[in-house]
Structure formats: C-alpha cells, structure tokens
Amino acid sequence: MLEPSVVTAGAGRSERGRPAAALESKIMSCPVVQILTPLYNEEKCFDIYVEAVEKTLMARTDIEYRCLLVDDGSTDRTWELIQQQCRISPRFRGLRLSRNFGAHTAETAGLDFCDADAFAILPADLQDPPEAIISFVEAWRQGADVVFGRRRMREDPRWRVLTSKTFEALLRRFAMPKGSKFVTGGFLLMDRKVVECVRQMREANRLIFGLVAWTGFRQAVVEYDRQRRAAGRSSWSIGRMVKSMYDGLIGFSGAIPRAVTLLGAVFSAIGFIAALYFLLNSVFFSPLPGWSTIMVIMSLFFGIVFLILGTICEYLLRIYVESTRRPLYFIAADTDDDLKRSSRLPDEERQTVYT
C-alpha cells in the first residue's frame, strides 16, 4: 500500500499569519489529538478498529492520542463493546445517543464533547486508514488548520466512485468558497479553533465536511489509498449519498432557487411563444382540431409549476425546522458519567466521602 502523501499543506506561519510562538508550541510540545469515531451497528468492526488505533496511533510517544466513540443508537452490541474498552483504557471515552440521528449529527455530538489541541474524524470501518492521520498531524504541525484526506485509490463500486466525484464537483462549483481544498467523505483533521467555529453552527441539516470547508482557515490535503471495509456491511446507501448531495446544495448554495427561477423564465417565454402561435393560427389559418396539443402544454407547465412549488416548500420546511430550535441530539449515556458526578460534589460532601 502506498504511503499517504501531503500534496499541499501550507508553509509555516509568517508574521502576518499565526504568531511564531503558537507554531513552535505545535512542533516542540506533545500536543493532544482526539480521534472522533461515530459508530452505528459496528460490532463486527469494533475489535479490529481498536487494535488498529492502539497499534498505529496510541503507541506513538510524540503525540498523545485519545479516542472518543459516539454510538449513534446502535441496535447490536456496539455500546457494550464501547463500555468494555473504556473500562480497559482511560484513553477511550464513549457517548451513546438516545436514537439514530445520523452520522453527521453523531460527529457534531463528538465535537461538542472533544477537548484537545486537534481533532481527527476516523470511520470505524477502517476504509480510511489510521496511518493517514499521522500525515494529517504532520501537515497540521506545519501550520495547516484543516487537513482533508483525498482518496488516491479506492476499492469501491464504480457507481459509488462516480456518485462521489459528481457530488464533489457540484459542491465545488456551486457551494463551497472559492479556493477551498475541501474533499467529500469526512476524513479530516481540524485545529481546535476550527472546531470552536463549527460548534457555533447548529443547523439541523448538516454536512460536517461542508461546514468545516465553509469556515475557511489554512487548508491542506493529504492523499491516501482507501481500503476495503474491515468487516460487516456499510449502512451508507445510495439514498444517503443523494440526501447528502441534496443537503449540500440546499444548505450551502443558492444554485437551486436560481435554477428554478431560470427554468420558470424559460418556460414562461415558451408559453408566450406558443400562445402567440395558436392565436395567429386561429386567426389566419384553420385551428388545430382536438385538445391534445393544449393538454400536452398544460401538463408540461403544471409540472413546472409544481416543481417550483416543491422547491419553495422545501425551503419553508427547513426554515420551520430551524425556527423550532430543537436540540440536535440527546445523550443517553456517557462512560465518564461517574467521574463527572464525583467532580460535581460540593466540598462538604467530598469531605464526607473521603474521610
């Protein structure tokens, strides 16, 4: 397997960028990097994932790696395995959501609870290799605030590769800021200050990699080879891929309402021309017999009208969802709960407990 390579990482900070002391602290000290992994019914992958993370990342001494596991309402033994691992190793922490909210919301929950110098999102299926995170950290320590992983080679079906490339091209053309090095897929690393910015964005329909790219900052790209899934079966269906594409275009771009407006203008012009044609035909020539032509035209224009109404309703629905200001998720369990409860005890109770 080819090693991950940094294709653009940005040089160290100049006097106009980040202060020299901040960059030196990244290089000289031992920073803390937290690995964030959302899981949904991943009991078959879990042991393989833990072994890979401990062997590849946590065994290193130059960086302190921690791992935050977010169970997105799994119905198998995933949460039980998370609890066992957190009891074994203090570097692991687990959160369990009250139900399945989706991968991007699970990542949001993890970002809300993360506490480190940098944060890397790593899928549990290990299709995105933990070894690439070492290159992410290297680019981050060289001055990048966001490091995206770009798939150099991938062992996926052709339709999935084509869909991913189409999605990325559409977002890059119509949605993302100019000059952004964003990559679809969500395998990335963020500096703490970027996470603080992402935490301020609380919209219900979320694409984490889109929100991260939207923040700006100095971005880098690391190329890597995507592997086959370690075990089990992916729940990332074509329907979810289409929804992510839809959310990305709706949430980050004005292209859809502009396209609908342009479509309405074009067909209005066609309708005007057709009306003029039928008017002149009825005055100077013999009118066409029957209603077939009229019905075809009416059906066509009613279809366009309903398309426009559907687009309007979609935006109204999203406005309504945002206006309700519902919480994005609920935490059902936290493996650090016992420690937190102890830390919240009043001084008098602590003295009673420990004397």
In this prediction, residue 69 carries a pLDDT of 93
DSSP H helices, the chain, are 20-28, 43-53, 78-88, 103-113, 131-141, 158-174, 192-199, 208-215, 238-252, 255-284, 292-324, 337-343, 347-354
Least confident interval from 108-122, 151-165, 193-207, 306-320: 151-165
pLDDT classification of 187: cutoffs 50, 70, 90: confident
Mean per-residue pLDDT, 270-281: 70
Mean of pLDDT values over 334-343: 62
**pLDDT tens, residue by residue, 96-110:** 999 988 888 899 999
Mean per-residue pLDDT of the chain: 75
What pLDDT does 353 receive? Answer: 33
At 267, list the tokens.
């067909």
**One-letter amino acid for residue 95 of the chain:** L
Are 109 and 32 in contact by the 8 Å Cβ rule? The answer is no
pLDDT at 189 over 70: yes
Instruction: State the pLDDT at residue 120.
Output: 92
Got the DSSP string for 315-345?
A: HHHHHHHHHHT--S--EEEETTHHHHHHHTS
Task: Express each pLDDT in 56-91 by its tens digit.
Answer: 898 888 888 999 999 998 988 999 999 989 888 889
Average pLDDT over residues 265-283: 70
Q: What is the tens place of the pLDDT at every residue in 278-322? A: 667 666 666 656 555 676 677 677 777 777 777 777 777 777 777
Q: Over 70: is that where the pLDDT of 3 sits?
A: no
pLDDT confidence of residue 17:
44
pLDDT at 323: 76
Q: Does the structure show a pLDDT above 60 at 1?
A: no
Identify whether the C-beta of residue 111 lies closer than 8 Å to the C-beta of residue 195.
Answer: yes
Better pLDDT: 242 or 217: 217
For the chain, percent of residues with pLDDT exceeding 90: 11
The pairing of beta strand 5-8 with beta strand 219-226: antiparallel
Whether 143 and 250 have beta carbons less than 8 Å apart is answered as no
Q: How many residues does the chain have?
A: 355
d(CA 277, CA 289): 15
4-59 pLDDT per residue, tens: 555 544 433 333 344 444 444 454 478 889 999 999 988 888 989 999 999 989 88
